[in-house]
Amino acid sequence: MVRAKPFCTVVQQHYTPGTAVMHVEMKTVALGAFLIVIAVVGIAAGVLLTSLPPGSNGGGGNDDDSGLTPDTDLFSQDLEAPDWNLIMSDGSLLSLESLEGKFVIVDLMTTSCPACETQNEHLKTLYEDHSDSMTLLTLNVDLSATTSIMADYKESRDLDWYVGIDSNGVFSSYFSLRYTPTVAVIDPDGYFRMFHEGVWEADDIVQTVSLMDR
């Protein structure tokens, strides 16, 4: 029996930079190079950065044949999240800066990805048990996504947290997105701390966040 992969491959898309939300800094380039180093060198050496617990049951994306990047704490990279304005399902704009004070769990997904439905269930558990310390944000990375599509998606799946669009592909470009779901963690001070490819189970997210310095 062939086990279904806990991720979907992202079709390459071309993003048009916008004046309001496409704030690409040199740190973006640094992160891209950093992730390449992890994929090429980190797997062999395993000593570039401190690895945190991966997801279980294949959800961590760390199987040798998965092609996914191992979970790595990005603390030493000093990657402050830009203050992007993201379009929510109700048409409003959400500023990343407004979410500081809690850990922000950013779920990058598409509506056509089966693994993203699995991720939703873990996010529901996370929201129910840890919404006091974590803010959840689900963003559709598909360029064809609209607010009406995401409003229907949010309602039909009973998602009680922020749901919207990866406006102008800011997250997708920043992380050179390869798979969905991909989960990014922003700490309470507004810095990127984790980049995880594939389904990430709720218990593993909680364990990982608990090990991060605030």
Q: What is the pLDDT of residues 60-107, one digit of tens each?
A: 434 444 667 778 788 889 999 999 999 999 999 999 999 999 999 999
Mean pLDDT of 20-35: 42
Q: Indicate the number of domains in the chain.
A: 1
- Asked, for residue 102, whether it belongs to a domain, the answer is yes
Q: What is the pLDDT of residue 8?
A: 86
Pairing mode, strands 192-197 and 182-186: antiparallel
Q: What CATH number did the domain enclosing 87 receive?
A: 3.40.30.10
- Asked, for residue 5, whether it belongs to a domain, the answer is no
Cα 190 to Cα 46, 98, 100, 185, 207: the distances in Å are 27, 10, 6, 10, 20
- Asked, for residue 8, whether it belongs to a domain, the answer is no
**167/145 Cα distance (integer angstroms):** 10
- Find the Cα–Cα–Cα–Cα dihedral 113, 195, 159, 95, rounded to 10°: -120
- Asked, for residue 1, whether it belongs to a domain, the answer is no
Q: Is 176 left (phi over 0), alpha (psi -120 to 50) or beta?
A: left
**72/85 Cα distance (integer angstroms):** 26
Residue 152 structural domain = 24-210
Look up residue 209 and give its two tokens.
Answer: 């966040």
> What pTM was computed for the model?
0.75
Contacting residues for 21 by C-beta, under 8 A, at least 6 apart: 84, 85, 86, 167, 168, 170
Least confident of 37-46, 156-165, 167-176: 37-46
